[in-house]
Amino acid sequence: MAQKRAPETTLKVLHLEDSEVDHELVRRVLARTDENFELQRVESLEDFAEQLQTQHFDVILADYRLPGFTALDAWQTLQQQQESPPFVLLSGAIGESAAVAAIKMGVSDYLAKDEVSKLASTIRRVLELHAIRRAKVAADAELALSQKRLAEFAEHLQATIEQERAAIAREIHDDIGGSLAAVRFDLSWLERHASDEAVRSHLQSAKEMLGHAIDASQRIMKDLRPAILDQGLAAAVQWLAESFTKRTGIRTVVNAFDSSRDIPKAVQLVAYRTAQEALTNISKHATCDLVHIDLSDAEEVLTLEVRDNGQGIAQAELAKPKSFGIRGLQERAKTVEGWLDISSFENTGTSIILSVPLPESTGDEPGNRLT
């Protein structure tokens, strides 16, 4: 005769039942299993609530109809606990609609009393499902925490990048810019005092090259630290578009809606960098001849759309693990509680839309410029 396996743990069961006979039947059924069950019976809703406050239970069994209340009242009481164990209805015929309603509310399972022989397997099943749900909740919480940390890191990274860009721009302005200006002054002095035509010709060429270097340093400074934003977001986007057209030859049309709203500096910078990155991607990949940039702050939302008529981006390209440019824009948008939408179809172009909720305007009337 096989010996009964020694149980490793004791499962504590709270049995909400007004019948001592039915409770004893449950005890005998569970005693015939390999598990070690410790049962405790309560009859009233007050005792049920008290036991939940003072003890930990692995599972709850409940008759449906009890004197003065039902199992659903006990279920509502259970929901006040921080962590609730599985809740199994063990009752007579309560009707299919009542059983379905209880399951929809969150009750773990239902077992008729005339099928009490299946109770042990039912308890095992609901405990397994409960463990899976708890694991999922813990995983979701860990994922949410990881996403929060990632967002915080992205925000810190973007702030650090902007600080470094500003520092480099200052160095270019103070050191390189000052040195180039001094060289230009000296070349002009030499040109005025040189009598040899060959020397004057070389000096003129040197001044032209120096002019290109000064223009390049100014362009780099504006890219690194967009002082143009001091004139407003619309002006900054217009300058980006004009510079893009001059550099690439691609026609760029800007449509900026008029407004007197004071756009927060952080939001302006995110919009500017989004437009800048979108134009950079277009110049590298789009193969287009027309770009539209629409800027609006209607309905308390700043909306920036950059779209081209190029070859589009395949979904597989967008989903690549190393698509850092697009992901960077998405994370940058999150730093100001915004979001980024990308739509692209083969041979019909690509549209990148940044949307950022804005604080309510304090102006009495709409103005005539988006700044």
Rounded to 5 degrees, φ, ψ at 51 are -65, -40
Total domains in the fold of the chain: 2
Does the structure show a pLDDT above 50 at 240?
Answer: yes
pLDDT at 88: 93
Taking alpha carbons only, the member of 73, 112, 121 closest to residue 94 is 112
pLDDT at 16: 95
pLDDT at 241: 94
Does the structure show a pLDDT above 60 at 5?
Answer: no
* CA 203 vs CA 65, 70, 192, 212, 217: distances in Å: 103, 100, 10, 14, 21
Does the structure show a pLDDT above 80 at 162?
Answer: no
The vertex-260 CA angle with 256 and 265, nearest 5°, equals 80
pLDDT at 6: 47
Query: Is residue 180 within 8 Å of residue 206, measured between CB atoms?
Result: no
pLDDT at 294: 96
pLDDT digits (tens, 9 = 90+) for 294-338: 999 988 999 999 999 998 877 666 666 555 667 778 888 988 899
**DSSP string spanning 313-329?**
--HHHHT-TT-HHHHHH
Taking alpha carbons only, the member of 227, 243, 237, 213 closest to residue 305 is 237
For 277-315, the three-class secondary structure string (H helix, E strand, C coil) is HHHHHHHHHHCCCEEEEEEECHHHEEEEEEEECCCCCCH
Looking at 137, 161, 195, which one is the last position of a domain?
137
The verdict on residue 189 lying in a domain is no
The verdict on residue 298 lying in a domain is yes
Rounded to 5 degrees, φ, ψ at 278 are -60, -45
Least confident segment among 149-163, 174-188, 271-285, 311-325: 311-325
Looking at 137, 153, 173, which one is the last position of a domain?
137
Looking at 88, 113, 137, which one is the last position of a domain?
137
Both 130 and 234 in a single domain? no
Q: Considering the chain, what is the average pLDDT of its residues?
A: 84
Residues in the chain: 371
Query: Is residue 137 within 8 Å of residue 131, measured between CB atoms?
Result: no
The CA radius of gyration of the chain, in Å to the nearest whole number, is 36
pLDDT at 260: 63
Tell me, what CATH number does 264's domain have? Answer: 3.30.565.10
The verdict on residue 47 lying in a domain is yes
Query: Is residue 70 within 8 Å of residue 76, measured between CB atoms?
Result: no
Does the structure show a pLDDT above 50 at 371?
Answer: no
Residue 351 lies in domain: 229-371
Both 368 and 268 in a single domain? yes
Least confident segment among 127-136, 181-190, 289-298, 333-342: 181-190
pLDDT digits (tens, 9 = 90+) for 40-73: 999 999 999 999 999 999 999 999 989 999 999 9
The vertex-312 CA angle with 306 and 314, nearest 5°, equals 125
The verdict on residue 177 lying in a domain is no
- Give the model's confidence band at 350: pLDDT under 50 very low, under 70 low, under 90 confident, else very high: very high
- The C-alpha atoms of residue 328 and residue 313 are separated, in whole angstroms, by 17
Q: In which region does residue 93 sit, left (phi positive, over 0), alpha (psi from -120 to 50) or beta (all else)?
A: beta
Tell me, what CATH number does 133's domain have? Answer: 3.40.50.2300
For the segment 211-235, the average pLDDT, to the nearest whole number, is 80
The residues facing 63 across adjacent strands are none
The verdict on residue 112 lying in a domain is yes
The verdict on residue 353 lying in a domain is yes
Tokens of 371: 């700044």
Residues 6+ apart with CB under 8 A from 367: 258, 259, 260, 261
pLDDT at 319: 61
Does the structure show a pLDDT above 50 at 369?
Answer: no
Query: Is residue 123 within 8 Å of residue 60, measured between CB atoms?
Result: no
Both 249 and 124 in a single domain? no
Does the structure show a pLDDT above 50 at 121?
Answer: yes
Tell me the range of 139-153, 193-207, 277-291 where mean pLDDT is highest. 277-291
Least confident segment among 75-84, 238-247, 350-359: 75-84
Both 133 and 233 in a single domain? no
The verdict on residue 116 lying in a domain is yes
The verdict on residue 320 lying in a domain is yes
Q: How many Å separate Cα 186 from the centre of its chain? A: 55
pLDDT digits (tens, 9 = 90+) for 25-49: 999 999 998 889 999 999 999 999 9
